[in-house]
Amino acid sequence: MDQPIGVIDSGVGGLTVASELMRQLPKEQLIYLGDTLRCPYGPRPKEEVIQYTWEMVEFLLEKNIKMLVVACNTATAFTLEQLRQKLDIPVVGVIQPGARAAIKMSQNMRIGVIGTEGTINSKAYPKALQIINSKIRVNDWACPRFVPMVEDGILSGSQALKVVYESLKPLKDKNHIDTLILGCTHYPLIRDIIQEVMGEHVHIISSGEETAREVSTIMGYHKKLYNGERVPQHKFYTTGRLDVFEKIAKIWLDQSINFVEKANISKD
């Protein structure tokens, strides 16, 4: 089916999911929208996150997408069921794939989750994990400084290390987790620093790979996969600064992006 897959995120973090989609589904065209102007979503009230998410969805629906990937954990926590009920295309979030991957990896069933305030307060990950296995002990921890740092393009160096160390020290000191879920799609952009702070004995889980695998499975089931031969032309939209978005996209996707435009989606 020659229609694009839509990917939405509160900013640049969803590029971690887009990268996996491009790797696992090399024939599929992506249309990505990052709401960098209003990022982060984590500290925002639930109703505001729902409003902003729907504004992004409506923008992508005009592009005739065949499937929607909600690459923002906060938006997934607050809107996924609503989107699935109201849209007539498949919708995939990032929380359940990440939870399943963590359970596969953990040996002691002590799993940590880090995310924005919104994601952590929603308890979406503990619910997803304990539905599968009620014996799992979950330690979740909000890291509100991470998303603004990543959105500013600070992905390495002493400043990034200081922020990560200060944010994760309480989680590291108090618990014996062997697996840590990066419950925000921005966080894989600073994965190496998180690993350094937590230690090599802790398995780091990013939901991008599992999410892409789920997208592939669902599209195959619904007969929505593109069956021809092509090199797809992906399109990227941002509500914020183009230069910052392009800089981070080039680093994370490891390639130049040929189409990036400003999107005006706010109805305020």
**Of 8, 30, 184, 198, catalytic:** 184
Spell out the domain ranges in the chain: 5-93+209-262, 95-207
pLDDT more than 90, % of the chain: 70
pLDDT at 249: 87
Q: pLDDT category, 24, cuts 50, 70, 90?
A: very high
Report the C-alpha gap between 55 and 127 in whole angstroms. Answer: 27
Q: pLDDT category, 267, cuts 50, 70, 90?
A: low
pLDDT at 63: 95
- Check whether the bond before 40 is cis (ω within 30° of 0): yes
| Catalytic-residue membership of 143 | no
What backbone torsions phi and psi does residue 29 show, to the nearest 5 degrees?
-85, 135
pLDDT at 108: 92
List the binding residues for substrate. 9-10, 41-42, 73-74, 185-186
pLDDT at 69: 97
List the binding residues. 9-10, 41-42, 73-74, 185-186
| Catalytic-residue membership of 184 | yes
**Chain segment 122-149, per-residue pLDDT in tens:** 999 999 999 999 999 999 999 999 989 9
pLDDT at 207: 83
pLDDT at 81: 94
Q: Do domains 5-93+209-262 and 95-207 have the same CATH topology?
A: yes
Among residues 37, 8, 264, 68, the alpha carbon closest in space to that of 151 is found at: 37
Most confident of 125-134, 205-214, 259-268: 125-134
Residue 45, pLDDT > 80, answer: yes
Q: pLDDT category, 1, cuts 50, 70, 90?
A: low
Domain 95-207 has CATH 3.40.50.1860: yes
**Chain segment 163-201, per-residue pLDDT in tens:** 999 999 988 877 789 999 999 888 988 999 999 999 999
At the second CATH level, the architecture of 5-93+209-262 is: 3-Layer(aba) Sandwich (3.40)
pLDDT more than 70, % of the chain: 98
Report the C-alpha gap between 203 and 195 in whole angstroms. Answer: 8
Element (H, E) at 145: none
Q: pTM for this structure?
A: 0.87
**Of 72, 129, 149, 177, catalytic:** 72
Tell me the average pLDDT of the chain: 91
Among residues 142, 149, 100, 101, the alpha carbon closest in space to that of 122 is found at: 142
Q: Which residues contact 152 (CB under 8 A, 6 or more apart)?
A: 244
**Chain segment 55-101, per-residue pLDDT in tens:** 999 999 999 999 999 999 899 999 999 999 999 999 999 999 999 99
Residue 104, pLDDT > 80, answer: yes
The strand pairing partners of 262, in sequence order, are 238
Q: pLDDT category, 251, cuts 50, 70, 90?
A: confident
Residue 230, pLDDT > 90, answer: no
Return the axis-axis angle of helices 15-24 and 242-253, rounded to nearest 10°: 40
How large is the average pLDDT for residues 21-34? 94
